[in-house]
Structure 1
Amino acid sequence: MKVLNRIGELIPGLLLALAIAACAKFIEGLLPIHLIGASVIALFIGMGLNQIRKPSDGVAKGLKFTSKKILKFAIILLGASLSIKVVLNVGRLSLVVMMFTLLTCFGGGYFVGRALGLNWKLSNLISAGTGICGGSAIAAIAPVIDAEDKDIAYAMSATFLFDMVMIVLFPIMGQAMGLSDMAYGLWAGTAVNDTSSVVAAGYAFSEGAGDFATMVKLTRTLAIIPTVLVFSLIEVREKRKAGIVSQGEKVKITSIFPWFILCFLGMAAINSLGVFPQELSSGLKELSKFLMVAALAAIGLNTDFREMRKSGINPMIHGFIISALVVVVAIAVEYFMGIV
């Protein structure tokens, strides 16, 4: 009976998030040009509804469940879209570029965040969104470091705004520099943040560039795994500093290991072995994307603009600086490698 009562408490909030996700997908489909993904649309719808009326106690538990548990489940399903074979083929060219862009994001992001006075969680969420894969990376790291919903929303907004600029400017800059399809695809796949933005910027240049940029982006997604593991350890260190975990107390790896990431990797391995039919793999990927949209809708519903305003404009400045640095570093590494 208790289990049924627990499920009953979760349903209203879950259904509300799913309804917003469906609306966001519908709006995304109406757009003549794919400039903005459903996840960002759902986040903004949720934030807008929060300003009109804050979520009632009847939906609060379901929204929390959706923003935490459903989000992790969506990340697991995302693994079904990855193939180790594709990763290895594309990785030979993209690995070096990605190493430099990730170092730029987290190394440069650390100093930029400190200079701007941002808390380490918000700063690193922005860096992860910029360096790995936009909303997916932010979504994967947020539960590991117990990030607040307002920080997640701010990080999403910071990466999204710069993505919109890059969608317009990247094809223009690529043509001006005379980049080949492969060189441009590698550049867009490593420097543009969100998957939908990579697709938009890639195919705006050419079909070949779009195909290669998309493969690079999927390879880049695997950086989520080591990044989440590192941040799990950082979170324990921060809890020790705060006295939540005593200095002498041993922390079991099982208590901090993000098991949903292990499941994510398992799904990618299974898919690489050809166990999943193409139709099932595609279906799981679409389900993952939809559940992630629902989770971001829940995060938006729990986000208050007034709380975000307290952070000021500094998070946006952080996102702009790091994104600009990644764009420059990515193309510079390609030049040094002789790809351009």
Structure 2
Amino acid sequence: MSCFRIVVYRQGNRAVMVRNMTWLRRNLPGILLAAAVAGAATGAGRVFPMVGAPIIALFGGAVIGALRRRSVMDTGMFAPGLALIRQRLLGIAIVLLGLGLPVGSVLTVGRQTATVLVGTLIVGAVAALVVGRMLALDRDSATLVAVGTTICGASAIAAATAVIKPDKERVAYALGTIFVFNIVAVLMYPPLGRLLGLSQEAFGLWAGTAINDTSSVLAAGVIFGSAAAHFAVIVKLVRSLMIVPMCLGLHLTRRSSGSAKTPLLQSFPLFVVLFLAASVISGLGIVPRSWTAPLGQLSAWLVAAVLAAIGPSLTWRQLRTAGARPLLFGGTLAVILAVSSLALLTATGWR
């Protein structure tokens, strides 16, 4: 009997090893490709902070997709690993982002800036609904561009993607739209802020509530002044917490329309709960302060890897098919957010 058990154990071990080797052969090429693009994009993002690593990774993936179309298609050698990256890393990256949002700091800055933050989000949500209907956008594209513009750029699009499961082509187009207005914001906000005579904190609040991606918020703040950059990033991180109600709202909307048929507790993304838990853990001081920066960098790298995996689906044919309406939608929302945020901070005495 003992000999039989040993034979069964060895056969089981061999079967596990074979499965592991098969999994590696299938997925490793795509994983390594996404990791390489994310690494290169991270380095390039330090040189070009106004663009940021996530957007550079997206377009790096798009270039590879254009040059090696067969290799990244569903049957290509890179496809399984890229699909795995897209499916598995989104939630991990967002949970790690929560570790950089200590709940105490969030509440303090949230109280100071609540009127501008909440007011801007409400205006953005209403504008997204109205303008999206006027332009007759498909629901997924409108949702992705809206959350990316009003909440947190690439991170919000990644979180929304995990909830509504849109086509990857729509995700890529939404990210491309965000990229365009990131560049415009970094170039336009600092000179406008000086022209309007904004203080360092007022500019930081304006940038943190109206510019969509963290890298662009930081870049615009640095151009305006170090104090503005510091405050802008804190405000932006507080704004990032809106990822939680956003995911809940998207899920409930899908349920009410019949698109989501499973119960809330079964289908609500686990990463949202873990994101909140990570913020609480960070606030309690359980995670050493020396870990905060490396964990933030890891989160940014994971987001870049996900976008590198999405990039190959971004093609000129699909962009032409999507047309100019999503781009017009994103631009309209960006202008509305900029004006409403500026009006609110002026009305509340932040100038």
TM-score range (shorter-chain normalised) is over 0.9
2:173–2:314 Cα contact (<8 Å) kept: no
- Provide the aligned C-alpha RMSD in A: 1.6
1:235 paired to 2:254: yes
Superposed CA deviations along residues 96-148 of structure 1, whole A, max 9, x for unmatched, are 21212212222111121121121111111111111111111111111210111
1:248 matched residue in structure 2: none
Query: 51, 64, 71: which one pairs with 1:36?
Result: 51
Query: 282, 288, 294: which one pairs with 2:293?
Result: 282
- Residue 72 of structure 1 aligns to a residue whose secondary structure is helix
Query: 24, 27, 38: which one pairs with 2:44?
Result: 27
> For residue 178 of structure 1, what is the amino acid of its counterpart?
G
How is 1:39-78 mapped onto 2 (pairs within 5 angstroms)? 39-54=54-69, 55-56=72-73, 57=75, 58-78=77-97
> For residue 210 of structure 2, what is the amino acid of its counterpart?
A
1:43–1:296 Cα contact (<8 Å) kept: yes
How is 1:238-257 mapped onto 2 (pairs within 5 angstroms)? 238=257, 240=258, 245=261, 251-257=262-268
> For residue 6 of structure 1, what is the amino acid of its counterpart?
W
Out of 110-119 and 183-192, give the one that drifted further.
110-119
Superposed CA deviations along residues 221-279 of structure 1, whole A, max 9, x for unmatched, are 100001011111222334x26xx84xxxxx42222211111111111111110001112
Query: 7, 10, 14: which one pairs with 2:31?
Result: 14
How is 1:33-182 mapped onto 2 (pairs within 5 angstroms)? 34-54=49-69, 55-56=72-73, 57=75, 58-182=77-201
Separation of aligned partners in 2, 1:29 and 1:90: 27
> For residue 304 of structure 1, what is the amino acid of its counterpart?
T
1:104–1:322 Cα contact (<8 Å) kept: no
Deviation at 1:3, TM superposition (A): 4.9
1:205 paired to 2:224: yes
1:308 paired to 2:319: yes
Superposed CA deviations along residues 176-224 of structure 1, whole A, max 9, x for unmatched, are 1111111111111101111010001112111111111111011111000
2:4 matched residue in structure 1: none
- Residue 228 of structure 2 aligns to a residue whose secondary structure is helix
Separation of aligned partners in 1, 2:306 and 2:119: 31
1:320 matched residue in structure 2: 331
Deviation at 1:8, TM superposition (A): 4.1
Instruction: Mark the structure with the bigger radius of gyration.
Output: 2
1:233–1:256 Cα contact (<8 Å) kept: no
- Residue 117 of structure 1 aligns to a residue whose secondary structure is coil
Deviation at 1:86, TM superposition (A): 1.1
Separation of aligned partners in 2, 1:64 and 1:78: 22
Identity across matched positions, percent: 36
Separation of aligned partners in 2, 1:309 and 1:95: 40
1:80–1:271 Cα contact (<8 Å) kept: yes
Separation of aligned partners in 1, 2:350 and 2:301: 36
Separation of aligned partners in 2, 1:69 and 1:237: 27
**How many pairs were matched up?**
330
1:105–1:128 Cα contact (<8 Å) kept: no
Out of 148-157 and 222-231, give the one that drifted further.
148-157
Separation of aligned partners in 2, 1:117 and 1:67: 28
> For residue 279 of structure 1, what is the amino acid of its counterpart?
S
Separation of aligned partners in 1, 2:198 and 2:325: 34
> For residue 297 of structure 1, what is the amino acid of its counterpart?
A
1:191 matched residue in structure 2: 210
Separation of aligned partners in 1, 2:239 and 2:301: 21
Separation of aligned partners in 1, 2:114 and 2:97: 21
Separation of aligned partners in 2, 1:104 and 1:260: 27
2:61–2:308 Cα contact (<8 Å) kept: yes
1:47–1:305 Cα contact (<8 Å) kept: no
Deviation at 1:7, TM superposition (A): 4.7
Gaps of 5+ in 1: 246-250
Deviation at 1:60, TM superposition (A): 1.3
Task: State TM-score, norm by structure 2.
Answer: 0.90
